[in-house]
Structure 1
Amino acid sequence: MTIVFSDLLASGFGSVVGFVLGLVGGGGSILAVPFLVYGVGVASPHVAIGTGTVAVAVSALANLVPHWRSGRVKWRCGAVFALSGVVGALAGAELAKAVDGQRLLMLFGVLMVVVGLVMLRRRGAAGDPDVHLSRATARQLLPRLVAAGFSVGALSGFFGIGGGFLIVPGLMLATGMPLAFAIGTSLVAVSAFGAATASSYAMSGLVDWRLAAIFVLGGLVGGLGGAALGRKLSGRKALLGQIFAGVVITVGTYVLLRGFLA
């Protein structure tokens, strides 16, 4: 595969990831690793994970701004969740680097299938839009946020993903906030998890920075298109979520089959 063709593939797959992030509000980063391994041809799963996390962090920061401007970010809840999750993400990343690359990919495939099935079963967006972390609510909310943040962060670091699809239900369970607020607040943690995991892999020399830059640029372009289409289809978010869940399950199954046949 020539360098030019590889770069075009990286840009194209980055656009797909960004498009999904912009369209359904999160979860597109779970496609980054299999795209980099099977689409672009990155030989090492660990390098694919390290490179993918850079794109995850940048994409999350870019998507955070419009949610912040719309008042859909619970900053205190997001900060506690993110700080707890960074500790978990660093621990998960160190553990992942000690696991065989092919076995790691198969575990990743299992996670994708499970997450897709959970997304298909998820119902409703109700909750308390006024929930917030304060002295009065700290005794109830703080332990839940810390526990949920660390657990989700560990999975995020281990598999090299932003974890938005795990953070959103984690925030809803820990605080009772509505789906729209959980999506916006989750991007605070996704940015932090991605940056922490990318730093860990970068220090081990497991990030292809040139490829990451190309993937990120494609993702930013795709994100604009996804956000624009998402606004037009805002009344059909449930259907879009189900379609994305089906894509996640399909890609996860493919990763598993490749692992079994390897």
Structure 2
Amino acid sequence: MHSLLTQAALSAASGSVVGFSLGLVGGGGSILAVPLLVYVVGLNDSHVAIGTSAVAVNAGANLGTHARSGNVKWRCATTFAVAGVAGAYLGSTLGKIMDGQRLLALFAVLMMVVGGLMLRNRAHVGNSAVSLSKENLPKLIVSGLGVGVLSGFFGIGRGFLIVPALMLATGMPMLNAIGSSLVSVTAFGLTTAANYALSGLIDWQIAVLFVGGGIFGGLIGARLAKSLGSSRGALTSVFAGLIFAIAIYVLFRYLS
């Protein structure tokens, strides 16, 4: 059991890791948040960890940075987010009634799927001139709804599910998908957080520290995102490896 001071420091440090990942590659932070809150910060209740991780103000700060850089395709991003909010509410309602440890185990399986999606899309180029159209509108609505359900159910995995979904639905480049994904990360996170808050499943003190660290890490990550260029594929591969490693650890803890 951590002391209050140690837990506060670990919360801020963990939040900075989350924000850095969100700013750099449009995800990873949210999928790392629950394991960090449970195994590093020391939250014993998996549902409280999920609810706390869903407080996505740090994603909103990163969204501002990407928006100023012109990376956000607003019409596509908004369509996807609106469709997904309903899914996020449904998913978070279902997630609250499932056993916490079983939810973590399913989360680990999802992490492996997400890691695979990252590797699959690491070399994607895309069309930077893409916009909302009759062709991609149905794809955005269907994929937004589906990703919203998964986001709400697990309280995690939003960025790394949304980025490949946006790229698949519209053909936009990865940098635009990263910036645009943060619209949905924020919307889904707030929807899930509100649902969990109604059930008293958020530790607000830790959430504030987590968000504070996330804003700091997110500013650094977003600045690096534009300058890395050709190195992004290699970085994505390394991060996918980290996702697989954490998933195996979570499954090991569940089975043991």
TM-score bracket relative to the smaller structure: over 0.9
Query: What per-residue deviation string (whole Å, max 9, x for no partner) do you get for residues 26-70 of structure 1?
Result: 22211000100111110110000000110xx21211111122122
How many angstroms does 1:232 deviate by?
5.0
The amino acid that maps onto 2:52 is T
How many angstroms does 1:208 deviate by?
0.7
How many angstroms does 1:225 deviate by?
3.2
2:210 paired residue number: 215
How many angstroms does 1:2 deviate by?
1.2
2:194 paired residue number: 199
2:129 paired residue number: 130
Partner Cα distance (1:162, 1:63) in 2: 17
Preserved CA contact (<8 Å) 1:125 1:180: no
The partner residue of 1:144 within 139, 145, 148 is 139
Preserved CA contact (<8 Å) 2:88 2:151: yes
1:168 paired residue number: 163
Structure 1 window deviating more from structure 2 (40-49 vs 178-187): it is 178-187
How many angstroms does 1:4 deviate by?
1.0
Q: TM-score, normalised by structure 2?
A: 0.94
- 1:233 partner SS: helix
- 2:246 partner SS: helix
1:242 paired residue number: 237
Partner Cα distance (1:235, 1:155) in 2: 31
Partner Cα distance (1:220, 1:32) in 2: 14
Partner Cα distance (2:220, 2:173) in 1: 25
Distance 1:129-1:146 versus aligned 2 partners, 3 A rule: same
Distance 1:65-1:180 versus aligned 2 partners, 3 A rule: same
Query: What per-residue deviation string (whole Å, max 9, x for no partner) do you get for residues 67-112 of structure 1?
Result: 2122221111111110110000000000001100010000011111
2:153 paired residue number: 158
Which structure 2 residues correspond to residues 58-73 of structure 1 after superposition, within 5 A? 58-73=57-72
Structure 1 window deviating more from structure 2 (28-37 vs 124-133): it is 124-133
Partner Cα distance (1:123, 1:225) in 2: 21
Partner Cα distance (2:142, 2:48) in 1: 29
Equivalenced residues, count: 255
The amino acid that maps onto 1:176 is G
Partner Cα distance (1:154, 1:260) in 2: 26
Preserved CA contact (<8 Å) 1:85 1:150: yes
Preserved CA contact (<8 Å) 2:118 2:164: no
The amino acid that maps onto 1:242 is S
Distance 1:249-1:190 versus aligned 2 partners, 3 A rule: same
How many angstroms does 1:169 deviate by?
1.1
Which structure 2 residues correspond to residues 94-105 of structure 1 after superposition, within 5 A? 94-105=93-104
1:121 paired residue number: 120
Preserved CA contact (<8 Å) 2:116 2:240: yes
Preserved CA contact (<8 Å) 1:53 1:162: no
Which structure 2 residues correspond to residues 39-78 of structure 1 after superposition, within 5 A? 39-54=40-55, 57-78=56-77
- 2:136 partner SS: helix
Partner Cα distance (1:168, 1:228) in 2: 18
Query: What per-residue deviation string (whole Å, max 9, x for no partner) do you get for residues 149-189 of structure 1?
Result: 00000000001026111111111111122222111111111
Any stretches of 5+ residues in structure 2 without a counterpart?
Answer: none
Preserved CA contact (<8 Å) 2:130 2:172: yes
1:38 aligns with 2:33: no
Preserved CA contact (<8 Å) 2:76 2:140: yes
1:92 aligns with 2:87: no
The amino acid that maps onto 1:39 is V
Partner Cα distance (2:231, 2:163) in 1: 19
- 1:205 partner SS: coil
How many angstroms does 1:227 deviate by?
3.6
How many angstroms does 1:230 deviate by?
4.3
